[in-house]
Amino acid sequence: MAEQIKNVHGLILHKMEKGELTFESKEALKRVLEEYEIHTKAIEQQLEVCKEKGTIEGMWKSCMREVDTLQEQVRQYQSGYHLTLAHSRLSDVQKDYTEAIKLLESKLMSLRTENDQLTVKTQLLEDQLMQVTSQMALVAEKNFALNNSLKEARNQEQELKSRYLILEAKYIELDKTFEIDKRTFTHAYEHDKVEAQLKDKVEGAVRQRDEMQAALERCHERMAELLRNAASDRSRVEEAVAVAESAVHYREEALTQQNVLAEELKRLKAELDRVVGEARQHARHEAATLRKQ
């Protein structure tokens, strides 16, 4: 058995001298030889215990198989197969994480673009709402002035009606007085003069009545115009209110969409950070594994 061990040592040294078997460092060779010596010593101990020829042959075959295994491990270590495999696994993992990161970044960019568009739309709605609010304030101010004018016109109408009724009563009274005076002074010397004076009074009262009637009609026309303007302004106010309500509705929808997008952006950023962190951690782990190997 000692001869076999010596032969194996000689074989390893011979292959190293010919360059068929090399090691990266003396420590690597030392580890292989130490491992080989441990196995061979264990086999020697077992051989010393076993006295039968069959057991010795079995142990010898086991030893040779172990030697073959060690030689295969040495060849694999020398060829760098395990390094190639580890690098391949690391490359695959990096590729998967890179694709995942690119997908998340693309979606994040798309959401940011959509969020920017919604921001512009919201600003436009804010500007439109401010314009409508300003228009509503102007219309409300004008409507207030029209209401005051309408109130003044109604007061004027009431005053004209009162004056008209007073003049009409005076006219009726003067007409009655004229008839009475006409009967009283039928045979009087001053009949013609009195009749002329009474006629002047009656005609003056009639003119005042007609003037008051015309003023009352003008007041009615002014009131009708004010009512039409008020109705038109009321319609514009209602239209402005509808536009404002629509702008507020669309603004609220845009703000809601912005909030949803902000949450989605936050979630995607956290997911992207997590994936990048996992990729870095996995790469460090693989690198540490390669250094240990």
SS3 track for 247-277: HHHHHHHHHHHHHHHHHHHHHHHHHHHHHHH
Handedness of CA 185, 189, 192, 198 (dihedral sign): negative
This prediction has a pTM of 0.37
Question: Mind listing the pLDDT tens digit for each residue in 140-179?
Answer: 777 677 677 767 767 776 776 676 677 666 666 666 665 5
Distance CA 75, CA 20 (A): 10
Query: What pLDDT, on the 0 to 100 scale, is given for residue 56?
Result: 46
pLDDT, average across residues 221-232: 70
Residues 275, 278, 282, 283, Cα dihedral to 10°: 60
206/8 Cα distance (integer angstroms): 152
Output phi, psi for 176, to 5 deg.
-65, -40
Long-range contacts for 121-124 (Cβ within 8 Å, ≥24 apart)?
121/254, 122/251, 122/254, 122/255, 122/258
- Lowest average pLDDT, out of 35-39, 79-83, 89-93, 244-248, goes to 79-83
Q: Residue 164 to residues 35, 121, 160, 210, 217: CA-CA distances in angstroms?
A: 134, 62, 6, 9, 12
Alpha-carbon Rg for the chain, nearest whole angstrom, is 58
Average pLDDT estimate for 53-81: 57
153, exposed or middle or buried, with CB in 10 Å at 0-12, 13-18, 19+?
buried
Query: For the purposes of burial, counting CB atoms within 10 Å of the CB of 18, is it exposed (0-12), middle (13-18) or buried (19 or more)?
Result: exposed
pLDDT for 6-48, tens place per residue? 555 555 555 555 554 554 545 655 665 666 666 566 556 555 6
Closest CA to 221 of 155, 157, 161, 152: 157
Instruction: Please determine, for residue 217, whether its predicted confidence score (pLDDT) is greater than 50.
Output: yes
Higher pLDDT, 215 or 194: 215
| Distance in angstroms (rounded) separating the CA atoms of residues 213 and 160 | 8
The Cα 156–Cα 215 span in angstroms is: 10
